[in-house]
Amino acid sequence: IHTAPEALPPGAGGQAVMKMFEYGSKVMAEKRARPGDDLASRLLACEVDGRKLEDMEFLLFFLLLVDAGGDTTRNLLSGGLLALMEHPDQYAWLMADLEGRLPTAREELLRWTSPVIYMRRTARRDAELAGQQIREGDKVVMYFGAANRDPAVFDRPDVLDLSRPENPHIAFGTGPHGCLGQHIARIEIDAMLREVLTRMTAFELAAPVEWLASNFISGPRAMPLRFRAT
Residues whose CB falls within 8 Å of the CB of residue 196, separated by 6 or more in sequence, listed in order? 77, 81
Q: 135-186 pLDDT, tens per residue?
A: 999 999 999 999 999 999 999 999 999 999 999 999 998 888 888 778 888 9
Separation of alpha carbons 19 and 135, rounded Å: 40
Domain positions in the chain are: 7-53, 70-229
Q: 72-130 pLDDT, tens per residue?
A: 788 999 999 999 999 999 999 999 999 999 999 999 999 999 999 999 999 999 999 98
CB 220 within 8 A of CB 205: no
> Which residues are registered as beta bridge partners of 201?
228
Question: CATH for 70-229, among 3.40.109.10, 1.10.630.10, 3.40.50.10490, 3.40.140.10?
Answer: 1.10.630.10
Instruction: Give the DSSP H/E element, type plus range, for residue 129.
Output: strand 127-129
Q: 202-214 pLDDT, tens per residue?
A: 999 999 999 998 8
